[in-house]
Amino acid sequence: MATETQSTVTAPAAVSAKQWTREEIEILLARIFKWALIAVFVLLTAFPFYWMLVMSVRDTTAVLREPTRLLPTLDELGRFTQSYEAVLDQFRFGTFIGNSLLVSLLVVTLTLLLAIPGAYAVTRLEFRLKNAMSWGILLVYLFPAIVIGIPLFVIYSKLGIRGSLPGIVIVYMSGTLPVALYMLRSYFQTIPAELEEAALIDGSGRIATIWRIILPLSVPAVASVALYTFMIAWNELLFAILFLTDSPNAWTLPLGLMQLDTQEVPRTYLMAGSVIITVPVIVLFFFFERFLTQGLTAGAVKG
Amino acid sequence: MNEIPVLDYVVYAVVWACIGGLPGFYLFASLRRNPRSGARLGVLVGLVVGFGGVFTGLIQTPQDGASAAALVWISALAVGLLANLLQVGMGTHNQTVTMRQRTADLAYGLLLPTFVIVFAIVVFPMLWNFILAFRPVRLRDLQELQLFALNDLTTANFDRILAMRGFTDTLIRTLIYTLLGTVLAILMGLVAALIVKDKFRGRNLVRGFMLFPYIAPIVSVVLVWKLMFNAQFGLVNELSVMLGGARIDYLNTPGIAFTMVILFQAWRYFPFAFLFILARIQAIPEDIYEAAKVDGAAPSQRLWYVTLPQLRAVFGTLFLLRFIWTFNKFDDVFLLTGGAAQTKVITIEVYDQLFGARNVGTASAVALVLAAVLIVVVAIYFRWFLVEER
């Protein structure tokens, strides 16, 4: 920044020596604008998460006394585990974390298990319904979730599986499968068919070919599908509200956190809960940012 | 069982046939027989065992469904194995199978599980929602409900919607919210993409931050917003009071709350637009810019006449996707305001009908209206877009 202010200040003196072109003025202005906007965007996107962290260690009375304090006191930092322990013990967040992990990991595993062979079929094999299926996949993920929610609610109630975790895993899979198929398909299309043709001529079966040739080549695509599937299952709320509200033992993290949002519960605990649910996603994101960004654009992830 | 619900039989027939057909297909495939004849045999077994169970009273309530499915499954496998031992099959069993059909069979085999799940969880409920919207179903009599009966069809649910106060307002509000939320998110995404397109120190970090609102769980980001905009001790209010402004209850004041809901949409979903636009900007070949520069175009002109026209297609796709998803979105507004302070959108109305009025039929009817409006809007968009392209 320092160099820019300097050049603005010296500009009038330089006019006589050198005529400023429109190009130069615009580049200068654009640069100032750019840095100002970067600051604004960083503030807009990162600050709420910083605030979440700060508020998760400051208790309500301290916040009411000094609502604009941007840093917690050392004393508050020293006692930071308090609110987290309260949330985990008093409000059963341990159970919710377990449920959410179970559901998310199951969704990831099963989605990959079905989507990899499915995507292979849609890219490499010839069959009559090929085009219909490829288009059907795309249409499915534009469907309004709330429209299928009500009939499913009725059927699940009748079958007596409404409060069960396997029931919700299948619902989540119906959302993740089409996108996973689509993402994997666009990746498989970039793998030259000659590679597997050689293996097929050598007498290797199709399934073995997928396992030994396609899969090792598709690690980045598989990783991004796994990551984004995990995120969808971990963050999902609508179906959790519809199906699990009556069965507190099956609550996932988002549902449990939502139920905590009442007048009686101190905001400190709410923020501690928010940190617990957000941190895994952010950590995964920073470790695998490359895969995730690729996946988000390749598959046009629903959100 | 006084009257025979016809639809029940149709639906059950499909279900039994599917449950029997699946193992039949895979069994024959694994025995290197023609999977299609296996599927056919399985369908037959499924129908016989399923309806046999219903008529003998073994299968009575839907709760017996799991054991019934297991029964059908085992019978289909047993009959399939037996048929193979006895070297009999359905029609084409002993015919030679062409290479072409073998490939197609493999494809169907690989796709069937996905197809079954998507059909059972998405397509079938979607279709059934049509019928549900024309039936008098309440939450409390769900247990006695005949699932697929057609004898009590009525338009009462739609009459109730028409008589509902403020339903048109809700519809118009939903459209405004969707349109503004979509456009703002795309504009923010464009600005964000323009400022990080060139390399600078810390660029990766800034780009990472930009994705935070989008990847974080919705519940936690809404809770932070609610805390920051809290009327009593929210940071935004405290700061504006310090600067001499007024204290505003942002999320509970009609008008302001609606603006907040739209701003939240823009904030949460701009990263999606950002990623797409950034990818497209970085794919614009450098020599177009060079040529424009040689022709004397200033940076602002290069942005307006070179970059933006290149982004047209991306804007089109983004607008369509974001419009559809925002229109269908439920959690954001539900968590932020619950539909209070004149922020109710149509998905919230569905929820309110289901759990507030405890009326399943009306909820389905509202959902049907939602789907219909969406289809009309998308159709208009495509018409307009295609005319524009020509």
Contact A27, A233 (CB under 8 A): no
Higher-pLDDT residue of A231 and A159 is: A231
Range of weakest confidence among A34-48, A277-291, B192-206: A277-291
Instruction: Give chain B positions within 8 Å (CB) of A274.
Output: 219-220, 223-224
Place of tokens 């190009």: A23
B112 touches chain A (CB under 8 A): no
The whole-number pLDDT of residue A81 equals: 86
Below-70 pLDDT ranges, chain B = 1-5, 59-65, 87-96, 387-390
A271 touches chain B (CB under 8 A): yes
CB contact under 8 A, A157 and B347: no
CB contact under 8 A, A41 and B374: no
pLDDT in tens, B267-284: 999 999 999 999 899 889
Checking if the pLDDT of A297 tops 80, the result is no
The whole-number pLDDT of residue A16 equals: 54
How many interface pairs between A and B have CB atoms less than 8 angstroms apart? 258
Instruction: Give chain A positions within 8 Å (CB) of B298.
Output: 22-23, 26
CB contact under 8 A, A150 and B275: no
Checking if the pLDDT of A8 tops 50, the result is no
With a CB-CB cutoff of 8 Å, which residues 70-109 of chain A face chain B? none
The whole-number pLDDT of residue B157 equals: 93
The DSSP 8-state label assigned to residue B150 in this structure reads -
ipTM: 0.87
Q: Which of A151, A277, A285 sits opposite B220 (nearest CB)?
A: A277
The whole-number pLDDT of residue A208 equals: 84
d(CA B309, CA B305): 6
State chain A's mean pLDDT as an integer: 85
- Residue B214's identity, in one-letter code, is Y
With a CB-CB cutoff of 8 Å, which residues 2-31 of chain A face chain B? 22-23, 26-27, 30
Residue A187 distance to chain B (closest CA, Å): 17
The whole-number pLDDT of residue B192 equals: 97
Q: Give the SS3 label for residue B277.
A: helix
Residue B246 distance to chain A (closest CA, Å): 16
The whole-number pLDDT of residue B333 equals: 96
CATH annotation of B158-385 = 1.10.3720.10
Q: Residue ranges of the domains in chain B? A: 6-132, 158-385
The whole-number pLDDT of residue B3 equals: 54
d(CA B221, CA B336): 10
What angle (nearest 5°) sits at the alpha carbon of residue A224, between those of residues A222 and A225?
A: 65
* Mean pLDDT score, A97-115: 96
The DSSP 8-state label assigned to residue B98 in this structure reads P
Confidence tier at A9 by pLDDT (50, 70, 90): very low
Residues 6+ apart with CB under 8 A from A286: B208
The whole-number pLDDT of residue A7 equals: 45
Residues 6+ apart with CB under 8 A from A155: B125, B147
CB contact under 8 A, A159 and B65: yes
pLDDT in tens, A129-183: 888 887 787 777 778 888 999 999 998 888 888 889 999 999 999 989 988 998 8
Contact A180, A112 (CB under 8 A): yes
Interface test with A, best of B223, B233, B327 (most A CBs within 10 A): B223
d(CA A201, CA B94): 26
B114 touches chain A (CB under 8 A): yes
